[in-house]
Structure 1
Amino acid sequence: MNGLVDILRENNQKIVFTNGCFDLLHPGHVDYLAKAKAFGDVLMVGLNSDASVQTLKGEQRPINKVMDRLKMLAALEAVDFVIIFEEDTPLKLIQKIKPDYLVKGGDYSMDNIVGSDFINENGGKVEIIPFLNGYSSSELIEKIKTLK
């Protein structure tokens, strides 16, 4: 991955990074990722591994396995690269990539974005994109449960 980042930098490509579980991909995710991509030239998405999702969301998650989630994300026009990470947070990945922009969704504030201090100290920018109302993977899962 370091070689890829070096090539992108040599070609003056602005790297945008975001991350998430993206368990049940929905229009809110698609909108968010398109808006994230607009900050730069290349969008890299850190994707929580199955074990990481389980730690964060509970034993019943993820609904979709990591390779299925990766395939769906990679198929989106806005997404250039998807990188799976095993840790609970993407901090090591952020430190390795050193993106120009770190982007998170509207459920975050500047003081609770993992890696924001690192990005700010290294000349990057941190951006928060408001959520598209009416879309939530967790709410979608609960709705599906009621259909039984």
Structure 2
Amino acid sequence: MWSSERKIKTKEEICNIAERFREEGKTIVFTNGCFEILHPGHITLLEKAKSFGDILIVGINSDESVKKIKGEKKLIFDEKSRLKIISALECVDYTVLFNEETPENIISIIKPHIHVKGGDYKEEDLPEAKIVKSYGGKIIIVPLIEGFSTTQIINKILALYKDH
């Protein structure tokens, strides 16, 4: 039986996988996020990221790091659920969990050719940009899809169900 969980890797496993693909001349693309509630903006970002290379690795913030970044209330699905959801997407080749607030450590391990972020970021504001550039990697910012954010979705749900 096929399982999306085969795409979920440890840091050590993803390091070996990335090294193998680099040796094969494949272009490795990396993006990351919390992915609290999967929405069309996330899907567009992930599909676009995949289009930039051969292998798409997605770093998922651990529960601990989401709480540090966004607070307790933003954690809708736990890390195992978020890993499973993102891993089930066809455009995603591998996922890896990371505990830090930024992806600097995991990027230094994977050394992707291309690091993709959504349009709510600017390259100069990314702490990981220095690392990506240090080994000759490239950063691509993908424009946001208007009307889709986790906060907007949560607020809409709250508004729709406030009387229930």
Q: TM-score range by the shorter chain?
A: over 0.9
For residue 11 of structure 1, report the CA deviation from its aligned partner.
1.3
- How many corresponding residue pairs? 148
For residue 45 of structure 1, report the CA deviation from its aligned partner.
0.6
Give the structure 1 partner of residue 50 of structure 2: 37
Give 1:99's match in structure 2, choosing from 95, 100, 112: 112
Give the structure 1 partner of residue 66 of structure 2: 53
Partner amino acid for 1:94? Answer: I
CA RMSD of aligned residues (A): 0.9
Give the structure 1 partner of residue 41 of structure 2: 28
For residue 79 of structure 1, report the CA deviation from its aligned partner.
0.6
For residues 39 and 149 of structure 2, the distance between their equivalents in structure 1, rounded to whole angstroms, comes to 8
For residue 103 of structure 1, report the CA deviation from its aligned partner.
0.6
Deviations 1:59-93 (A, max 9, x none): 11210111111111011111111100011111100
Which of the two has higher C-alpha Rg?
Answer: 2
TM-score (norm 2): 0.87
Answer yes or no: is the 8 Å Cα contact 2:119–2:142 preserved in 1: yes
Relative to total residues, which structure has the larger helix share, 1 or 2? Answer: 2
Partner amino acid for 1:9? Answer: R
Does the alignment pair 1:119 with 2:132? yes
Describe the SS at the equivalent of 1:131: coil
Partner amino acid for 2:94? Answer: F
Give identity over the alignment, percent: 45
Give 1:135's match in structure 2, choosing from 148, 154, 159: 148
For residues 55 and 119 of structure 1, the distance between their equivalents in structure 2, rounded to whole angstroms, comes to 24
Answer yes or no: is the 8 Å Cα contact 2:102–2:128 preserved in 1: no
Structure 2 alignment gaps of length 5 or more = 1-12
Deviations 1:31-83 (A, max 9, x none): 11000111110011110011111111111121011111111101111111110
Runs of 4+ in 1 over 3 A off after TM superposition: none
